[in-house]
Structure 1
Amino acid sequence: MANVTIDDSDPSIIYLPAWNTRNASVPCATCTANPQADLMFDETWHDSTFNPSPGSSEFANIPSTASMLFNGTAMYVFCALAESSTGSDGDSDMSFYIDGDLKGTFLKIATGNVGVYDYNVPVFAIDSLTPEEHNFTLQGGHVNGFKSLVLLDRMVYTAFNSSLTSESSSSSISASSTSTSSESFKPTSSPPSSSPGSATKKSLSSIIGPAVAVPIVVLLLAAVALCLFLKWRKRRGDSRRTIPTINPIPPPMTSVWHPLSLPSSHHLALQRKVIPLPSLAALGVSPEPGNRRCDRTPLKLSASHLVPTSLPNRSAATGSQASARAPVPIENEAVDNDEPPPAYDEGVGRGAASLSV
């Protein structure tokens, strides 16, 4: 909790029926009370004179009131008092109401010191209120009462969960109340005095500070976010412009084509294998001298001249047998280049072969 100061010029205070708004810059020529403005809180105050005499003023015999709403547990009222009994009529007659109930009064008869004023006087104090909103009313004068003067300076209340704070006070404020008898007022204790305008400056600083700081923080956060976004966008663009590495096509396994060679055991190799024919000398045929052309008469061979179609077993044959059984190639140099070579009859393998020349 903290004390909140409400200056008399605060618009939350409602003044009825007629009060004079006073400050140092605007003097009042018709006012009989003129305290020093620099000794008043924030150099402002409101004054009202109650006069029960008929025709004394437009609001004769009508008490003056100053009302306000507050949310707190305590209320303190400070006024200036005039000691002159003539001219300014400095007698005081004030009543204080909380939520319509009378909570205190302040009565004081001026001592007669002309031009003398008492400042920062606590005329009302209560600190036992429930923590909720209350309606406070100050009343100056009573119907058919005596003439009295009110110089309201400020009000202070102890706020309950309020954001507006002023200087806190550790000492309690109390004021002795009197009955209708004329008795001087002596406060038992008072809150620490504060320089005029200090509460107003603190209230303004508490409002202006966050109003300036919040936009600055928002701008800084926006600038940081923008920098991070631009940096991320630049990295993304660089990654898109990077050309990926293309691996070259590997060369073929062999650059030169080689024909497929089949093993000797393959059936195609056996079919295409050429078996040389025996020579004419081995067959007992001799060409005519001087005539290189071959006789076209078919040559008939006996079964003994046939060449076997199956090859001998290499593992069983010896070297001498292999040389004895090797076929003798036919030397036929007398054949013309334009004549076809002698054809081998496939019937030889079946026992009846003929050679055409």
Structure 2
Amino acid sequence: MIKFCKKCIMPDSRPRIVFNNEGVCNACLYSEEKKKIDWEDRKREFLKLINEIAEFTKQKNSKYSCIVPWSGGKDSTSIALKLKLEYDLNPLLVTFSPLIENEIGVHNRNELSKMGFDSVMIKPNLKISRKLARRFFIERGNPKVAWDAGVNSAPLTVALNYQIPYVFYAEHGESEYGGLVLDDESQKKRNIREVIEHQIGDFPQNWVSNEIRENDLAPYIYPDENELKKTNITAYYFSYFFKWSMLENFHYVEKTMKKKFKTHPNKRTQGTFTDFDSLDDKIDCLYYYMQYVKFGFGRATRDACRMLQNDQMTRQKAIELAREYDNEFPEENFKEVLEFLEMNEDEFELIVNQHRNNEIWKTSIDNKWKLINSI
């Protein structure tokens, strides 16, 4: 039976989350730890790194100071804006194409480009992308496994090709949201073991099949670790240097871009109460719905917990929002998603139900699925 964190509302069914003896999750414990961090000291450490980057750029006569993995969303956009406008760097933005692009993502990327940013977009072979999305939706209930691999590999591949040794990712999710932190250094610097084990679950080279050759998987394969070391390429987490908040990131972007950053036109995204997060891919609502199917918590719980841990919401309000929106089916773009996955509704429903954990789901008298217990 699912247990819920006593401080936030995250269930213990979330992968790798840990509760202490008082029933508090490690994400909430970390949020308390962050209040004790000397953020001015962290900023001084960041400024030292900025000076190092500036010196490198001058010595190598490099056109770009660093790489920012960039979706066009509020988090990566806030990092790009801060690096350029507040710290006088010239970041190269690297995007791994969404599975199914939408107008909001295209608009937001174009608007930032108008503000003086260069960017590179990696668009993998759509035929292979679709095959992998379908395969992993069937096997793991997650159509974005290969995309997760690409979004991790592409920025470092570009860094290697351009000989730019500094990469700035957003937050360290294992610390911020409850997971397995390998060591203290992994909160600051990206670790290939953590990427493979926690985000992808496998080496992409193992995805070779009768239909897919290893060459087809090039966009998803992480660069050789020895090559990265030779070039001294290091990927940092911005959340190590500055206290992380998705809501504050959005407010910063909205203010800096003078409200040219688009949010969801319906004032909220299906499955949640927010309208500003994870907007650039039409398949995202399915991704979060499958999180609800597999683990018993949805996108509203995810968003509410992040705000709770930053003292931006009460627990009671979080419970109300989770009850209202967590189980909302992603009707928007559903037909287009089915077409992308090359399946019909009956096949889709069969696959979804195969991923329901019988420890958290039961069927009711009218043969409908219901969580055994929920918040």
* TM tier relative to shorter chain: under 0.3
Which protein is richer in strand relative to its size?
Answer: 1
TM-score (norm: length of structure 2): 0.21
Higher RCO (CA < 8 A, seq sep 6+): 2
TM-score (norm: length of structure 1): 0.21
Which structure has the bigger radius of gyration?
Answer: 1
Which protein is richer in helix relative to its size?
Answer: 2
